[in-house]
Amino acid sequence: DWSSDVCSSDLEANDLPAAQAVAHTLKSSALLLGAAPLARACEILMQLDEMELVRPKIDDVLQQATGAARWFQIWLANQTHR
């Protein structure tokens, strides 16, 4: 997906500000949609100041994003049946 692709390229380039910018954008979207665990994972990533610390947190963000996407898929599927 878009966010994992962007984060991966930022990690490969060791571009901490770009990785943090992606996390900030994703955090804002997550809060807007009510995905608080995803927003928290992004916030943690944004506060880190070394790429070596950011790398393991990307997995946390992706795991939360996957969970939020699954929840929204189920929710949307239930909306069409009403």
C-alpha dist (Å) from residue 14 to 33, 37, 44, 48, 73: 30, 26, 18, 13, 33
Contact 42, 51 (CB under 8 A): no
Name the one residue in this structure whose structure tokens are 């909306």: 79
What number of CA atoms fall less than 13 Å from residue 6's CA on the CB side? 15
List average pLDDT for each run of 10 residues in the chain, which is 82 residues long: 54 79 93 95 93 87 93 88 60
pLDDT given for residue 56 in this prediction = 86
Comparing C-alpha atoms, which of 72, 73, 12 is closest to residue 58? Answer: 12
pLDDT given for residue 45 in this prediction = 93
